[in-house]
Structure 1
Amino acid sequence: MRTELEPLGRSYDVVVANPPYMGAKNMNKWLSGWVKDNYPDVKGDLFSCFMVRNSRMGSQHAQMGFMTPYVWMFIGTYEKLRRFVIEQNTITSLIQLEYSGFSGATVPICTFTLQRGKAEGYRGGYIRLSDFPGADQQAPRALEALADPSCGWFYRRDADTFRQIPGSPIAYWASDTHMNCFASLRPIRDYAYRCNGMTTGDNDRFLRLWHEVSLAKTSCGTGTSEEAVASACKWFPYNKGGDFRKWYGNEDWVINWANNGEDAKTYGHLVPRSQSYMFKPEITWSKISSGKPAFRLKDAGHMFDVAGLCLFPNQEDQRLLLLGVCNSSVSNSFFNFLSPTLNFEVGNVCSLPYPESCGGIESAICETVSNCVKIGRDDYDSLETSWVFKRNPLV
């Protein structure tokens, strides 16, 4: 056994690896415990543990090559791994493949090279193949980028600049303007409280579509928990994300919250997060989206869960301005690297740089946003699925 393990104790000038992939939830008890003890900062997956282990096998200035899922480049779980890569190594090159980059498989893969040790000011080369679906396009487009760096999908970036972005995502295609915004503007989290909502423990038991219950027992516009109890109503509007709709909409669900949630609390599986913010006016969006996020205004009276994430501005008169910023095309350009997966978490949204002033046109922006909300509300209420629907506008 000593002979077989001896190579693992050496240092190498070149290390190349395609590490095994296994998420923490799929590890057995022994492996999970061993990973937590030995690689506590990167315990989310075996591939991240191997990235650290393989890096340590390299001698100073060693060249290392990896092929891994590219989730480590962006999501919060791997922030400490990104810091390790950026602060203790040098990214010399990286190719991010498109989801269908391998024939017969749909996997988020990147391949990259590192140099052991920090090379200050080094600008690595990055190729982004996300816009080229299909395995047959990956190699030709990569070779095209190497032959012509001005092609539009080849980038040069000093990895230290990633540290300017909250969470340090490997956002190599972000422009200098994007980077300057992070450096000069404060994030949304400084201007609004952000929160996840509750978990009922059994949605089938406690949630209904609004048309499945009696409107006489449904409350609309409740402002506080005390008012909810005093109303003697059983059902209250419940925000749980929903389809892509900007400005207004997705008023579909209600929750059994009679007597301040007596039934749900008695059931014993309720996770009552953010209770002090329930029923307040809010800005919300769906946690999971197949495209861009869509932010909506919710009037007072709503409760919300983990799929309908919320912002509550520190100043009430900032709601429309904040909604306009979140729904802008500028913010979408930031989301391309703050949240390049299908999940738009609270932390992603609250990392957006937010302008303290808009050059004196704040009132004009708020008026435009108010009109957008009105158009969105009128459109939604023209559908039979709205609980204030009266008649089809075409009739």
Structure 2
Amino acid sequence: MKDEYPTGKADLMTAFMVLAQELTVRGGSWAMINLPSWMSLKSFEAMRQDLLEKQRIVSMVHLGRGIFGSDFGSVAFVIDNVVAKESRGTYRRLFEQHVDVRSVSAIESLFRDSTYNNYEVQQSDFAAIPGSPIVYWLSEKMRRAFSIGRPLSDVANLRQGLATADNNRFLRLWWEVSDTRTAFTCTSREEAVASGARWFPYNKGGEFRKWYGNHDYVLNWEHDGTEIRNFGAENGGRPRSRAQNTSTYFSPSVSWSDISSGEAAFRRFPAGFVHDSTGHSGFGSETLLNQITLLLNSKYVMEVMKVVAPTLHFHIGYVGLVPVASGIERLPTSTLETMVERAQRDWDLSETSWNYEHNPLVALA
């Protein structure tokens, strides 16, 4: 596979797509029904780019789930073995949500309605989007955003954090340890060392929650994480842990969990936290972080994430592709402050918050 079909080696289905191109005379056409994963996943990026550069997508029917008993959906397409130049392809999307499962008769009915989800797109527009996904349903303005905006990774300092290699050993819920040996507000590694504390707040992602929250865990970072840094190397071996990007530890951030059951949720974290490898984080000035958080929790970014992160994995590399327009500095930070304040009040109403004071129902009694 690697030698014969280098651009299609990620899957047998894409190897057949490459083979179909090779077997088709120049100027001829080939067609196929396939799984739709090749249209967006990063592992098929080389194959997509080669296809868009050398061939022309004439038409495509994106069928969704329900055809041939497929639980992953299916897509039918016709491709000319010619360079596309400025030509436009015709695309049909016979579903609203990827999770929709319809009967064959329902899908056939949608297909016969020629006005339903009918798109005409210039093929060169796909190349302007990172990874060249076949996202024919995007509006012209959304496609243009990738051309005029800067990637978020150029605007903010996006970093993964600590991988302890043994969370059971180095993490505790904050109420499981002594309050006198915990420091909640350190602003630097140097301040953490000077505090003499053993336990410090740890951002490890967590459940879906926007704006503020998921302050559950503390980390054994005593003596600047000496025990963690040496974990696995006690007998001359290599450390099992990865204390990466330590210059960002204890800094204010915007953060999100790398895996979600739905859309991504972005939260502001104050100074004092060490961030985990699954609690991806962005760093910068307080004003920039507030503006970025507003942007990332917007409907616009939710739609962008469907393009750059088509699975439920919101890796830092995917989020870094979000296009940011120059007008971000005009976003009102007062709005973000209001959202964070409300989310924090809600979080602190729970007894599992370290800022919990009293039950509001008891206070009203």
> Match for 1:163: what amino acid?
A
Question: Which residue of structure 2 aligns with residue 384 of structure 1?
Answer: 351
Residue 174 of structure 1: how far off its partner (Å): 0.4
Question: Which residue of structure 1 aligns with residue 154 of structure 2?
Answer: 190
- 1:217 counterpart (163, 174, 181): 181
When structure 1 is superposed on structure 2, of 157-166 and 330-339 the one drifting more is: 330-339
Distance (Å, rounded) in 2 between the aligned partners of 1:130 and 1:286: 28
Question: Which residue of structure 2 aligns with residue 393 of structure 1?
Answer: 360
- 1:51 counterpart (17, 25, 39): 17
Distance (Å, rounded) in 1 between the aligned partners of 2:155 and 2:297: 16
Deviation track 1:34-58 (CA, whole Å, cap 9, x = no partner) reads x444444444333333332332222
1:129-278 to 2 correspondences below 5 Å: 129-131=94-96, 135-138=101-104, 140-141=106-107, 143-151=108-116, 153-267=117-231, 268-278=239-249
Residue 302 of structure 1: how far off its partner (Å): 1.1
Distance (Å, rounded) in 1 between the aligned partners of 2:309 and 2:167: 27
Residue 341 of structure 1: how far off its partner (Å): 1.7
Residue 265 of structure 1: how far off its partner (Å): 2.1
SS in 2 for 1:140: helix
Distance (Å, rounded) in 1 between the aligned partners of 2:154 and 2:114: 39
Question: Which residue of structure 2 aligns with residue 16 of structure 1?
Answer: none
CA contact (8 A) 2:94 2:111 kept: no
Question: Which residue of structure 1 aligns with residue 234 of structure 2?
Answer: none
Question: Which residue of structure 1 aligns with residue 31 of structure 2?
Answer: 65
CA contact (8 A) 2:161 2:279 kept: yes
Distance (Å, rounded) in 1 between the aligned partners of 2:193 and 2:321: 36
Residue 144 of structure 1: how far off its partner (Å): 3.8
Deviation track 1:109-168 (CA, whole Å, cap 9, x = no partner) reads 433332222132232222224436565435633x344433322x2322122101111221
CA contact (8 A) 2:252 2:286 kept: no
Distance (Å, rounded) in 1 between the aligned partners of 2:74 and 2:256: 28
> Match for 2:352: what amino acid?
T
Question: Which residue of structure 2 aligns with residue 329 of structure 1?
Answer: 299
Question: Which residue of structure 2 aligns with residue 74 of structure 1?
Answer: 40
Question: Which residue of structure 2 aligns with residue 117 of structure 1?
Answer: 82
Distance (Å, rounded) in 1 between the aligned partners of 2:43 and 2:283: 25
Distance (Å, rounded) in 2 between the aligned partners of 1:39 and 1:263: 47
> Match for 1:293: what amino acid?
A
Distance (Å, rounded) in 1 between the aligned partners of 2:303 and 2:133: 14
SS in 2 for 1:284: strand
Is 1:351 the counterpart of 2:318 in the alignment? no
Is 1:339 the counterpart of 2:306 in the alignment? no
CA contact (8 A) 1:101 1:135 kept: no
Residue 74 of structure 1: how far off its partner (Å): 1.8
Distance (Å, rounded) in 2 between the aligned partners of 1:203 and 1:111: 46
Residue 237 of structure 1: how far off its partner (Å): 1.4
SS in 2 for 1:149: coil
When structure 1 is superposed on structure 2, of 349-358 and 276-285 the one drifting more is: 349-358
CA contact (8 A) 1:280 1:299 kept: yes
When structure 1 is superposed on structure 2, of 52-61 and 161-170 the one drifting more is: 52-61
Distance (Å, rounded) in 2 between the aligned partners of 1:102 and 1:257: 54
SS in 1 for 2:58: strand
CA contact (8 A) 2:53 2:84 kept: no
What TM-score do the two structures reach when normalised by structure 1?
0.82
Question: Which residue of structure 1 aligns with residue 255 of structure 2?
Answer: 284
Deviation track 1:11-45 (CA, whole Å, cap 9, x = no partner) reads xxxxxxxxxxxxxxxxxxxxxxxx44444444433
Question: CA separation of 1:112/1:255 partners in 2, compared to 1, >3 Å: closer, same or farther?
Answer: farther
Question: CA separation of 1:67/1:302 partners in 2, compared to 1, >3 Å: closer, same or farther?
Answer: farther
Deviation track 1:227-274 (CA, whole Å, cap 9, x = no partner) reads 222222222211121111111001112222222222222222112222
Residue 353 of structure 1: how far off its partner (Å): 2.0
Distance (Å, rounded) in 1 between the aligned partners of 2:192 and 2:73: 46
Deviation track 1:82-128 (CA, whole Å, cap 9, x = no partner) reads 1012111112223334356554x632543333222213223222222
Question: CA separation of 1:46/1:264 partners in 2, compared to 1, >3 Å: closer, same or farther?
Answer: farther
Distance (Å, rounded) in 2 between the aligned partners of 1:347 and 1:149: 38
What TM-score do the two structures reach when normalised by structure 2?
0.88
> Match for 2:38: what amino acid?
W
SS in 2 for 1:181: helix
Residue 301 of structure 1: how far off its partner (Å): 1.4
CA contact (8 A) 1:101 1:107 kept: no
CA contact (8 A) 1:101 1:134 kept: no
Question: CA separation of 1:265/1:368 partners in 2, compared to 1, >3 Å: closer, same or farther?
Answer: same
